[in-house]
C-alpha cells in the first residue's frame, strides 16, 4: 500500500513540475511590436488610441475594428488584477504578441496591431471575459 501511495505522489509531483516548466517556454518570435504602460493617463495623453475597458462585467467593447498600425489600449476598471491574454485558454499560444500579462485595477496595457486579421483574447483570471480586435 505504501508503494502505491509513493508512486501516486511521485506521479502527481512529476505532472506538476511538467506543467510548471511547460508554462515557462519562450514565446515564438513575432514581428508585432509590443508596448505596455502601467498608467492609464499616459496611454490616453500620448496618443488617440481606441480604448477597451475591462469592468466587472467583462471587456467593453467586446469587439473593436481598427486599421493596421493602430495601438489598442486596455484599461482595467474591474476592481481586481486582470490580464489580456491571447486565445486559446490556458496556453495563450494563438497570438503570442497579445499576451500582455497581469495589470492591476486602474492600470492599462497596450499593443500595436500591424497585420490585418481577427485577434481573439480573454482575461486569464476569468476566461469567460473575452474580446476580439478586427484589424483591416
What are the residue ranges spanned by the domains of the chain?
A: 28-135
Q: Which grid coordinates are listed for 39? A: 498608467
pLDDT of residue 70 exceeding 70 = yes
Per-residue pLDDT tens for 121-136?
Answer: 999 999 999 999 999 9
User: Under CATH, what is the fold of the domain 28-135?
Assistant: Immunoglobulin-like (2.60.40)
When computed from its CA atoms, the radius of gyration of the chain, rounded to whole angstroms, is 18
Binning pLDDT at 50, 70 and 90, where does residue 95 land? Answer: confident
Residue 129 cell numbers, joined: 471575459
Contacts of residue 24, defined as CB under 8 A and 6 or more positions apart, other chains included, come to none
Q: Any idea which residue has 483574447 for its cell?
A: 121
Mean pLDDT of the chain: 77
- How many Cα atoms within 13 Å fall on the side-chain side of residue 133? 29
Contact 114, 80 (CB under 8 A): no
CA dist 92 to 13, 28, 62, 133, Å? 24, 12, 18, 16
Query: How much is the pTM?
Result: 0.64
CB-based contact 34:97 (threshold 8 Å): yes
Amino acid at each position: 500500500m505504501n508503494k502505491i501511495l509513493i508512486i501516486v505522489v511521485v506521479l502527481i509531483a512529476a505532472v506538476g513540475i511538467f506543467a510548471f516548466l511547460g508554462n515557462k517556454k519562450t514565446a515564438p518570435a513575432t514581428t508585432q511590436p509590443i508596448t505596455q504602460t502601467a498608467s492609464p493617463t499616459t496611454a490616453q495623453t500620448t496618443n488617440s488610441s481606441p480604448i477597451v475597458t475591462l469592468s466587472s462585467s467583462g471587456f467593453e467593447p467586446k469587439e473593436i475594428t481598427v486599421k493596421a498600425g493602430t495601438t489598442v489600449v486596455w484599461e482595467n476598471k474591474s476592481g481586481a488584477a486582470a490580464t489580456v491574454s491571447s486565445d486559446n485558454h490556458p496556453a495563450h499560444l494563438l497570438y503570442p504578441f497579445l499576451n500582455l500579462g497581469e495589470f492591476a485595477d486602474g492600470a492599462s496595457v497596450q499593443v500595436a496591431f500591424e497585420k490585418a486579421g481577427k485577434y481573439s483574447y480573454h482575461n486569464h483570471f476569468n476566461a469567460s471575459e473575452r474580446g476580439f480586435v478586427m484589424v483591416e
